[in-house]
Amino acid sequence: MCAVEDWCGDNAKVDDTYSKAGTSGINVASDKTIIGVGNKGIIKGKGLRFVNVKNIIIQNIHITNLNPQYVWGGDAFTFSGTSKIWVDHYVSAWSSALRLWPRQEHWYHPLQNHIDGRAQWSAGCDGYHYWTIEMVGQGDQITLQNNLIEHTAGRGPALSATTFLHAVSNVWRDINGHAIKGDTAGKGLFEGNVFQNVKQVVVPDFKGQLNSCPDNAAASATQQYLGRVCQGNIFILSDSTSDNIVYPTHMIDNVSVLKFLVMAWTMRFNDVLNADKLYESLSELLTIGDWKKLGGRLRHGHNKRGALEVHVPTTYTNERSAVSYSHQHYDISIEEHNSSKLLPKASSRPSNFPGASGPRDFGISPGAPASLKDYTSRDVPMIGLHIITFQDATLVTITWPHVLFDAVGFSHLIQAWSAVLAGHKERVPNIIGGEDDVLYDLGDISQAGPQYAASEARILSGIAFILFVIRMLWIILTQPTVESRIICLPKDVVDKLHQRALQDIKEENSGHDDPWVSPSDAILAWLTRALVDPSKAPRPISMTTPIDARTRLSHLQNADGVYVQNMILGSFVNIVPNDFRGPLGKQALVSRQGLLQQLDESNLIGILQLFRKRWDVGKTRAPIFAAPGSQLLVTNNRLKIDLFTAADFGPAVIQASKDQQRKNHPGRPVHHYASSLNPGITMRNFINIHTRDLEGNYWLSGFFTPRKWSRIEEGFKELQ
């Protein structure tokens, strides 16, 4: 080796034999095109040298066997003082691959090539070639595009001198060491690449300027330089679980109506928050006890039910972090930002606003996970934290796959995060049920009683279910457009609507032991009436509402910790056309009493037993208890999830709002909203009573066809 390269210093030298052809190479002149014909374009034992030349195209060449037993036995390509070189569809094996030496600035574009580092001899004695691509040219401008680099151990590439590399749409696969190395002068932008089973993407001591788009924050940083946000890279690990802690997901987590959704929840603060401090405290939370389950990666499990698993790294690193983090800062007021200034604001009248329709509406960069497949096929954290700061406000968005937890689980996460941020880890509650599926256990079919039989009898099945599906498919085909919107109902409007409902009930019951309905009951009664098409005979409505099992099952109460998972059971209340024709309060009471009847614990246990029976035979679709021929309306009431209290980010406040009229403490949100990043075509006829803000206004969000939104807007007139 020392005879080939005089780099051994005072170490002992040995004599050996090597081929001089491998170290000299074939000189290529300017203005040349070299094309391999079919699979016969093979150069064995000798590489190509490009010195002080330009305007060259190399295609379909296979270079191999360049003194492979020696580290510096020869290079497939050597470039020095060149410009305008195009290389595509070349294969390199058993060589040092590419070396770009300093001379003058040159332009070089390797495209659609295959560098295979499998070798009988290797620096690490493990069959992985180390010296892959050396980029040491002064002022080089290189585009590395659509290449496959596999089974190597390092320097793929190594950036030094003043090389600037743009690496896009390449695949690094099965890398036993690092992919990227560089000194203080090397510069590189890596975007839209795939790193599959790469042990270390970038060496820890990289000293140059590099953006490998490891997360959305790094991707967003390119906006001011490129005029666009660069495409994030995809990081995929092998299926090996030897270095992971594996947690199960549970029965309700895998119900199909929840399993495929990806959620985003945004909180607005009228204070400037320290984004990095929020990220660091959230990451710290996910190292505590079974909270670390939330920092894992989703994988398809090897079990008979096909349930997903969560694979948690034993140690979080920069490459395998607990949280996917991005931060954008705009040195302007939030009211000056083109998108953020359009965020919904309450007024004195009922109003509606466009809802979030995708990741960008939540400030999430392209490339962030937006589907279940994105999570299961990539090595990405399940929790995403996306923060946008302004001169006077902060938007904090958290994303997660719904298979991880429901809205109540989200509120537990926010409270625990706030405790860590404040330096009080002792206040972080234990997670219960990280491994054990308590709802599955409660659904023991051997203990089934009359309520199980009653639940099974109510399932929509047979011809009734087939007609239900056909009717839904017909509606989807004939009314494909669904809009997401946000509704704001002012406090005084809701108060009047509520009083109207209570007065209706009082008149109906002659004032004796008048039943009570909530403002939410009154809102839903008004909304269902607004949705009815007056030109058609009304159909029955089956209103389904999620029930939080945590508060309804005695076995789950007074627990020493919190359940951060999905604990949603469904209720179905059938509303007949006569209810629409009667007083508003009567309809609200029918809905409320129908719901209360289903909150009985024995009824919920019966539903769990039904879930378990279906789950044990591989059925993940939730049973439907809708009335035959009815129209389905999905409702959700999140008013008990009080994020205005749960979220206390005061320790992260850099600059508090100077508004003298504020009603909350610094570091607490003034507004929040949530939606799905991938609602799908079946997300329709859905209304969510999301929150009651600090002024007492009610905020709703929904998915309806434009025609139904028009009827809701007409219904606003009744409320004014």
- Bridge partners of 341, per DSSP, are none
Closest CA to 683 of 704, 714, 657, 698: 704
Q: Which of the following is catalytic: 49, 99, 155, 684? A: 155
Q: Give how far the C-alpha of residue 156 lies from the chain's centroid of Cα atoms, to the nearest Å.
A: 29
Which tokens sit at 281? Answer: 């405290």
Is 213 in contact with 190 (CB distance < 8 Å)? yes
Torsion (CA) 336, 340, 345, 350 in degrees, nearest 10 = 120
Which tokens sit at 151? Answer: 């089974």
Specify whether 155 is catalytic.
yes
Is 607 in contact with 569 (CB distance < 8 Å)? yes
421 Cβ contact partners less than 8 Å away, ≥ 6 residues apart: 277, 278, 281, 648, 649, 651, 652
Torsion (CA) 155, 161, 165, 170 in degrees, nearest 10 = -10
Torsion (CA) 445, 450, 456, 458 in degrees, nearest 10 = -160
DSSP code string of 535-558:
TSPPPPEEEEEEEEGGGT-GGGTT
Q: How far apart are CA 12 and CA 655, in angstroms?
A: 64
The string over 396-406, giving b where at least 16 C-beta atoms fall within 10 Å of a residue's C-beta and e elsewhere, is: bbbbbbbbbbb
717 Cβ contact partners less than 8 Å away, ≥ 6 residues apart: none
DSSP 3-state of 507: helix
Is 345 in contact with 671 (CB distance < 8 Å)? no
Q: How far apart are CA 632 and CA 544, in angstroms?
A: 7
Taken in order 409, 413, 418, 422, is the CA torsion positive or negative? Answer: positive
In the numeric block, the tokens 């296979």 are attached to 62
Which tokens sit at 609? Answer: 């037993």
DSSP 3-state of 483: strand
354 Cβ contact partners less than 8 Å away, ≥ 6 residues apart: 483, 484, 485, 486
Q: What are phi and psi of 420, to 5 degrees?
A: -65, -40
Amino acid occupying residue 203: V
Q: How far apart are CA 622 and CA 254, in angstroms?
A: 10
Q: How far apart are CA 472 and CA 188, in angstroms?
A: 51
In the numeric block, the tokens 């790469």 are attached to 198
Which tokens sit at 209? Answer: 């300027």
Which tokens sit at 14? Answer: 């040995």
Region for residue 609 given its phi and psi (left: phi exceeds 0; alpha: psi -120 to 50; beta: otherwise): alpha
Which burial class, exposed, middle or buried, applies to 655 when counting CB atoms under 10 A from its CB (0-12, 13-18, 19+)? middle
Q: Which residues are catalytic?
A: 155
